[in-house]
Amino acid sequence: MRYRKNGVNILVFFGLAILLLFFLSPIIWNVLTSFKDRGEYFTYPPVFISSTFSFEYYQHGLAIGGAKGIQDSLIITLSTTAISVILGSLAAYSIARFRIGGDNFAFWILSIRMLPPVASLLPLFLFFRFLRLLDTYEALILTYSIINLPFVVWLMKGFFEELPKELEEAALVDGCSRLGAFTRIALPLVSPGLVATALFCFMFSWNEFIFALILGRSRVVPVTVNIAGMIGGHEILWAEISAVATLASVPIILLAFVLQRFLVRGLTLGAVKG
C-alpha cells in the first residue's frame, strides 16, 4: 500500500464531501436565487427552490446591461490574455535562457504586483485622459496587460527553466534559427503551462473590478461593474444580480472544466518552482 495511491476510504470520502459542500453551496445558492421572485429572496424560512422558476430575471438582467457587460468583458479579456501571454512568454524565455537582467529581474517584475492599486489609479486615469483613451477598450486592455505581464513572466520563466537546454541546442545545430528553436521546440513543450497561464490571465481580467470602475464608464462597462451597479441602486434586484452573476461565471467555469487537465499539470510543471 503506497502512501498516495490508496484510493478513497470512507473517511477521506466524507472529508471531501463536507468540504465540497462548503465550497459549492454559496454558488448553488446564487444560482437558486436567480430564479426567485421578488417576494422569495427575503423570507424566513428561506425559499430554496423558487415556485415559479422562470428565466424572466435572466432576460431582464441581460436587458439592463448584463448582455453589454458580458460582451465588453469578453472583448477586454480575450485581448488582454493574448497580449500578455505572447509578450510575457517571449520575455520569460529570454530571462530563462539568457539570464537577461540577471537573477533579480523576474523578482523585480513581480514586485510591481505588490503596488496597491489605489496608488496607480489616479496616475493611470490622468495618463489615459492625456491619450484620450478613457472609456475605451484599449485603456482596460493595456491596464490589465501590465498587471498580468509580471505574473506571466514569473510563471513562464519557471516552465522554460524546466526544459532541458539540450533540445533547443540540438535544433540549433540542425540549422534551426533561435526564433525557430523557440517557436518550434520550446513553445510546444511548455504548452500545458502556457494554457494554465492563459487561464489565470483570463480569470484575472474577467474578474477585475476597481480599475474597470474608474477607467470605464458608459461605452465600456465590464460585467463586474454592471453587477456592482445593480447592488448599489435604491432597489436591490437580487434575482437579476444573481442571474447576471451566474451568467458571468459560466465562461470561467466552462474553461476550468475543459482545461482541468492543464490546470493542475501546468502548475505542476513549473509554477511551483518559481
Q: Which residues, 232 to 271, sit near other proteins by CB under 8 A? A: 232-236, 238, 241-242, 245, 248-249, 252-253, 256-257, 260-261, 263-264, 267-268, 271
- Closest distance of CB 125 from other proteins, Å: 6
**SS3 per residue for the chain:** CCCCCCCCCHHHHHHHHHHHHHHHHHHHHHHHHCCCCHHHCCCCCCCCCCCCCCCHHHHHHHHHHHHHHHHHHHHHHHHHHHHHHHHHHHHHHHHHHHCCCCCCHHHHHHHHHHCCHHHHHHHHHHHHHHCCCCCCHHHHHHHHHHHHHHHHHHHHHHHHHHCCHHHHHHHHHCCCCHHHHHHHHHHHHCHHHHHHHHHHHHHHHHHCCHHHHHHCCCCCCCHHHHHHHHHHCCCCCHHHHHHHHHHHHHHHHHHHHHCHHHHHHHHHHCHHHC
Which residue in this structure is represented by grid cell 438582467? 61
Q: How many residues bind other proteins (CB under 8 A)?
A: 111
Rounded to a whole number of angstroms, the minimum distance from the CB of residue 124 to other proteins is 6
CB of 169 to other proteins, least distance (A): 13
The nearer residue to other proteins, 59 or 135, going by C-beta atoms, is 135
Distance CA 6, CA 111 (A): 41
Q: Which of 150, 193, 197, 198 binds other proteins (CB under 8 A)?
A: 150
Site string for other proteins, 60-99 (x = CB under 8 A): ---------------------------xx-xx-xxx-xx-
Q: Which is nearer to other proteins, 123 or 164 (CB)?
A: 123
Q: Which CB atom, from 25 or from 53, has the smaller least distance to other proteins? A: 25
* Out of 76, 124, 163, 198, the residue judged to bind other proteins by CB under 8 A: 124
Cis ω on the peptide bond leading into residue 164 (within 30° of 0)?
Answer: no
Rule CB under 8 A: choose which of 67, 101, 137, 138 binds other proteins: 101
The least CB distance from residue 55 to other proteins, in Å, is: 19
Q: Among residue numbers 157 through 216, which ones bind other proteins (CB under 8 A)?
A: 177-179, 203, 206-207, 209-210, 213-214
Q: Which is nearer to other proteins, 67 or 228 (CB)?
A: 228
Among 41, 57, 159, 160, binds other proteins (CB under 8 A): 41
27 part of the interface to other proteins, by CB under 8 A: yes
